[in-house]
Amino acid sequence: MKFVHIADMHFDSPFVNLSDKGILGDLRRLEQRKVFKKVIDYIKQNEIPYLFISGDLYEHKYVKLSTIEYMNNQFKEIPNTQIFISPGNHDPYIKDSYYSKFNWNQNVNIFSHKIEKIENDNCDIYGYGFDDFYCTDCGIEKLEVDNPDKINILVIHGTLDGASIEEKQYNSITRKLLEEKQFDYVAMRSYP
């Protein structure tokens, strides 16, 4: 199975430290678009059927409609690729987010705050998205893989083995729990 997995693009981040140094913040934002386009071009050239985005695709507070349109236009360039987005703490799926109010391309699947499963011929893709800027319990411990004979993938934003109080507010998930669930791949943004 071929796929690309990315996380933490943080489109339209203010890059405060760089922005204090002249145009460096603007240059960094342009670099983000170039890198994203390279990812899309790679997917197109290699006919990759799946793209997993594990949270923080953009900065909710700062993202511009033009940036959302840019991303969606890039997604249109890969119509045969199924895109799965798990909103994170910087881009939660909330009432006024672009995840809920923008008309995304038909190949884009955005997970909400309830664990969902999308079935494909050769795999089942499970996902969960933040519905707030903090998440202390996504309910993954209740999740059971329906068909262990298929490839099972989890797309989620979280902190792996978070120990501090702050880390636990960003969907701390243990390695042990993930191993017990027996996913074939976990597309996750993880620290440490």
Q: What is the pLDDT of residues 14-53, one digit of tens each?
A: 865 555 566 676 787 789 999 999 999 999 999 999 999 9
pLDDT score, position 51: 98
CATH of the domain at 58: 3.60.21.10
pLDDT score, position 25: 61
- Stretch 112-121: mean pLDDT, rounded? 93
pLDDT score, position 15: 63
Residue range 145-190, pLDDT digits in tens: 999 999 999 999 988 887 776 767 888 888 899 989 989 999 997 6
Helix (H) or strand (E) segment spanning residue 100: helix 98-101
Cis bond upstream, residue 79 (ω within 30):
no
Collapse the DSSP code of 170 into the 3-class scheme (helix H, G, I; strand E, B; otherwise coil) and give the result.
Answer: strand
Angle between helices 65-76 and 24-46 (to 10 degrees): 20
- Stretch 124-145: mean pLDDT, rounded? 92
For the chain, the domain total comes to: 1
Percent composition of the chain: helix, strand, coil (DSSP 3-state, to 5) = 30, 25, 45
- Stretch 131-158: mean pLDDT, rounded? 92
The residue ranking higher by pLDDT, 23 or 134, is 134
What domain range includes position 148? 3-189
